Every structure is written in C-alpha cells, then in structure tokens.
Amino acid sequence: MTLAPIDEKAEEKKKQLMAETFKLEQDILSEREIPDEQTGNGSSRVSDVDDKELTELIISTLRQMADGNLKAAQQNIDKMSPFSVQALEILDAIALSEIPEPELSDLPSQTIAGLIRTLRSKIS
C-alpha cells in the first residue's frame, strides 16, 4: 500500500483554520471574563495598550522566566494584568507561531510552550 503525497496547500489551510478556531474560542472565553459595564459595580474595561509595546513586555517576561529572574517577571506580569485580554491574544499568537521570537530562539519549543502556559495562567 502506498501513501498519497501530502498536499501542502491543504495542510496550510487546515493549520490556518485551526488557528482561527483557537482565536475565536479564546475571544469567546475572554468576553465572559470582561465585567459588564451596565452592572453598576464600578468596573469597566481598561483601554487597550499598543500591541507592539505589550508584545515586547510579554517576550521580555518569558525571557525573564526562562532565566529564573522571577521578581522582574512578576513586575512585568503586574504591568500587563490590566490588559489581560489583549495580552492573552498576543500570547496565543506567539504560541501558534512556528518560528520563535529571536529573544527566545535558544529555548526548546517545549520550554517556550510551558512558559507560555505559565504566563497565561498568571494573567488570566
């Protein structure tokens, strides 16, 4: 029995659809976590910060965690916590990227995945 060759276009489309599905699921979950401004409880959604700035903060935090600099990492986590929905979206994009960020390229992919899971749990 011979195997059919892999259709690269179909595989790429499948990967893209899975990434979109994951992002939609995360958006739905994050909508549940945003307090309703109509409840009168005084809470409202914090305005978004620049994606580039938040991405740099996230990558820096992941690097600090990898290097064992947990105090500095926690300070960064505290800075990004008000923007948790946006930060989670950026983390998901980093997690789905096949090419690691240059600052993290020396780390094994399993380590990066573990750091992302840990950071996700701290900011969600």
Token pair 């390229």 is found at 105
Q: Which of 76, 71, 69 is nearest to 119 (CA)?
A: 76
Return the DSSP state at 107.
Answer: S
Residue 27 φ/ψ, nearest 5 degrees? -60, -45
Instruction: Indicate if the pLDDT at residue 79 is higher than 60.
Output: yes
**Is residue 115 predicted with pLDDT exceeding 50?**
yes
For the CA atoms of 26, 92, 111, 76, what is the dihedral angle to 10 degrees? Answer: -100
Of 46-50, 72-76, 101-105, 120-124, highest mean pLDDT: 72-76
Provide long-range contacts, Cβ within 8 A and 24+ apart, for 67-70. Answer: none
Per-residue pLDDT reduced to its tens digit, 20-68? 777 777 676 666 554 544 434 444 444 557 888 999 999 999 999 999 9
